[in-house]
Chain A
Amino acid sequence: MSLPTTARAIADAVCRREHSAVAFAEAALDALQRTEPKIGAFLTPLPDLARAAAVHVDRAIAQGRHLPLAGVPIALKDNLCVEGTRTTCGSRILENWVAPYTATAVERLLAAGAVPIGKTNLDEFAMGSSCENSALGVTCNPWDAGRVPGGSSGGSAAAVAAGVAPLSLGSDTGGSIREPAAFCGIVGFKPSYGRISRYGLIAFASSLDQIGPFARNVEDAALAYDIMAGKDPHDATTVDQSAEATAAALPEDLRGVRVGIAREFDLKELDSNVRAVYEQAYRDLERLGAELVEVKLPSAEYGLATYYLIAPAEASSNLARFDGVRYGLRVEGRDMRETYDRTRAAGFGAEVKRRILIGTYALSSGYYDAYYVRAQKARTLISADFARAFERCDVLACPAASSPAFAFKAKADPYSMYLMDYYTIPMSLAGLPSLSVPCGYVSTEGGKPLPLGLELTGSLFAERKLLAAAHAYERGTRHIERHRPEVFA
């Protein structure tokens, strides 16, 4: 049996009892088996858990229950805890650690009938933009195996792009959902900070981290979002206002929508083929009824510098817990101090060490005000820019990344990798809901199509407006239907 490409189609078929959740689980596990040798999206497939969950769903459906994600196979980034399963963060330090509880976001999807088929690869502790920083596996882009899937949620993006699961979860701190979604030609959605509980998401930078879905269309992403969003007593940063349902009423056009184009995200710097795709995307927005408005984000160019102080500072604090005592790896020394030093030296990869060092430095005595506090102040200016821009527009549009997926090892210099998040970081600093939706393709020299993503961003907690605009754009362009990746289940 072949797997329908959308979550909605699967859930409908299971609820109508045309197919069983067990049959869809087997189809997804089979797709995983077939594609894994080529893309390596998964660190830990979960066939037993998938089958047990599917049986449970079929039983619930037989008892007359309605489940909005009945039988929908999902893939989960391996920084999300699932009780009784290995949860590694792509790191040696947690290589054999088994999570003692399940993340709230995951639990809500499972309660809605989703079937977890595996844990996916990521840059170690979600630090990276290509998945190359994973200590535990290599993930290839389904469109071209010589290229990265993006990161840090690269495994979750590749699994959906390759048709293994219609839905997956990632986490986004500075672009880790939107950039891989763009590179893999699918939808990736980071909701507002505070919308989705982070209980059970292993922390990277706590004032920025947010969980979100990957899907093959906006409707599925909205569906998953509606189920996950809302207050959780286990995460005090979740907002009280109950999330308004977004998936039920998605419009077909953009009439009356003002789309802001920021001067600072000028397309001139881009490769001419890439630029042409984005120029067409802006024309398409207009064709579909949107009014394009020029806005200013003068502080956005400071986003990267701000982010690369704040995120490492928070990471250096969060990752202090990996000390060889309570979790995972221990490399024993003569005393506790030496045990800390050796465990962390052996357990963390180069990028994680770099960020811990930057963060520790930025927070250290004598430098705290000059670096960390200064970055927090710049963050205020960046947020204020967005607030002003949203007085003049409903959503902002810009590229999700400056290029399509790049080749392995192309960004050997750490800073060149950091630049990949140029278009996604400012929105993260302001906590805004933001997504990437497929907007066209460029060709490799060998003639393979490589997808590009349009980043649309809404004002804080305006997910409904954002998803509505993205849905209308997607319906009016249908880029995902034009090409299939080289590796597809």
Chain B
Amino acid sequence: MASEQINIAHVAQLARLALTPDETIRFGKQLGSLLEHVRVLQSLPLDDVPATAQVIPSRNEMREDDVRPSLRREVVLAGAPVSEGVYIRVPRILGEDA
């Protein structure tokens, strides 16, 4: 866990988040500072420690594969920003160069 320069523009791209130049600088600094704080974890002997993803004993839960009522389609579509008929309308998926 070395102290590395974060490529904030790359991370923002992965996060699907357009940043202004000002945000890129500000968040870059703030993230760098946070990573300094989390570096304390480096000093812990963790090699033989199992990772915890969930604190309670739980397993995948299966249920019968039967038909159950679900939310009404009109109600769900009403929450979408743009819909048309029984579909959610989106801009084109592929860019110019695709």
Contact = CB atoms under 8 A, between A and B. Distances in A.
Interface of A: 97-98, 100-101, 192-194, 207, 233, 236-237, 239, 299, 301-302, 304-306, 308-309, 316, 320, 323-330, 332-342, 344-345, 348, 350, 353-354, 356-358, 360-361, 364, 370-371, 373-381, 383, 414-415, 429-431, 460
Interface of B: 1, 6, 8, 11-12, 14-19, 23, 27, 30-31, 33-34, 37-41, 44, 46, 49-56, 58, 60-61, 63, 71-72, 75-76, 78-82, 88, 90-96
A241 B73 CA distance: 35
B41 A378 contact: yes
A341 B93 CA distance: 13
Given A305-B37, A361-B11, A373-B51, A323 B27 contact: no
A330 B18 contact: no
A378 B46 contact: yes
A185 to B, nearest CB: 30
A357 B71 contact: no
A233 B63 CA distance: 9
A404 B75 CA distance: 44
Given A344-B17, A364-B14, 20 more contacts: A98-B78, A100-B71, A236-B60, A299-B44, A305-B37, A306-B41, A308-B34, A325-B81, A330-B82, A335-B95, A336-B93, A339-B91, A341-B16, A353-B23, A361-B11, A376-B52, A377-B50, A381-B46, A415-B33, A415-B37
A421 to B, nearest CB: 13
Contacts of B14: 360, 364
A358 B34 contact: yes
A63 B39 CA distance: 63
A37 B36 CA distance: 42
A380 B6 CA distance: 28
B62 to A, nearest CB: 10
Contacts of A316: 15
B31 A361 contact: yes
Q: Is the contact region of chain A dominated by helix, strand, or loop, or is it mixed?
A: helix
A337 B15 contact: no
B47 to A, nearest CB: 9
A356 B15 CA distance: 7
A302 B17 contact: no
Contact of B6 (A344, A350, A361): A361
Contacts of A345: 17-19
Contact of B18 (A342, A357, A364): A342
A337 B95 contact: yes
B8 A193 contact: no
A376 B16 contact: no
Q: Which of B33, B80, B82 has the most CB of A within 10 A?
A: B80
A324 B33 CA distance: 31
A194 B41 contact: no
A360 B30 CA distance: 15
Nearest to B19: A345
Nearest to A337: B95
A364 B7 CA distance: 12
A97 B79 contact: yes
A243 B56 CA distance: 15
A218 B58 CA distance: 29
Q: Which of B23, B41, B75, B95 has the most CB of A within 10 A?
A: B41
A239 B61 CA distance: 11
A377 B80 contact: no
